[in-house]
Amino acid sequence: MKRLVRSNAALFIFVFLMGLVAGGVLIQNFPLPFPDKGHRLFRVVDERAAEVVQQILYKYGGLRVSRKFDFGPTHQNVMSDNLTVIAWFDGENCIPSVKPNNAISLAVNDPSKSVERAAWLLLKNGYQALWRELAGVPKDTLFVLETGAFCDTALVFRKPFWKMPTPKWRE
């Protein structure tokens, strides 16, 4: 009986200590009450552009709209990864960039077909769409789609990482 009590006490102490360690790690990495890792906001020219871009993100990236909200002059649609936000602003014109500084990368099995279909959807909805294969990488590996639906953002269609050529790592 004493042995059973001793082993139960040891087990309780072990579980209690492991709970403290796990709780400490969680609190350090995810401050209470909720984790907030921020978000990545990509601006589109208007609500119609947001709808078209969201169709593309769903079809080729599996991202769907999970929540929509308005905050001041902004209208934001949070995607299902809880990091990507597609937004447009009231009263502010955005001029689509000739050379976007940001991109949303989508891993697809056939980048060539995917970029053509996405461009067609954009063109069908009245948005400019220009795509090109990235120079310096093997053929049919990575395409950049620049569109008038975004303000300073492009879409990148690429093969999944396990089908991509090995990169040259930097230090």
The pair phi, psi for residue 157, each rounded to 5°, is: -110, 120
CATH of the domain at 113: 3.10.180.10
The whole-number pLDDT of residue 167 equals 84
Domain hosting 105: range is 40-163
Cα dihedral 118, 119, 120, 126 in deg (nearest 10): 120
| Separation of alpha carbons 17 and 136, rounded Å | 54
Q: Which pLDDT belongs to residue 88?
A: 93
- Render each residue's pLDDT in the chain as its tens digit; 171 residues: 666 666 777 888 888 999 888 877 766 666 556 666 778 999 999 999 999 999 999 999 999 999 999 998 999 999 998 889 999 998 777 776 667 888 999 999 999 999 999 999 999 999 999 999 988 888 999 999 999 899 889 999 999 989 888 888 898
Q: What is the pLDDT of residue 154?
A: 92
**How many Å apart are CA 123 and CA 120, to the nearest integer?**
5
pLDDT at 20: 86
* Residue 2: CA count within 13 A, CB half-sphere: 0
Both 26 and 104 in one domain: the answer is no
pTM summary value:
0.75
CA distance 154 to 148: 9
CA angle 137, 140, 141 (to 5 degrees): 50
Same domain, 54 and 116: yes
Total of domains in the chain:
2
Question: Looking at residue 29, what is its pLDDT?
Answer: 62
- The reported pLDDT for the residue numbered 5 is 63
Q: Supply the pLDDT for residue 24.
A: 75
pLDDT at 28: 65
Query: Are 72 and 101 in a shared domain?
Result: yes
Whether 116 and 92 map to the same domain: the answer is yes
Instruction: Report the sign of the C-alpha dihedral through residues 38, 43, 46, 52, in that order.
Output: negative
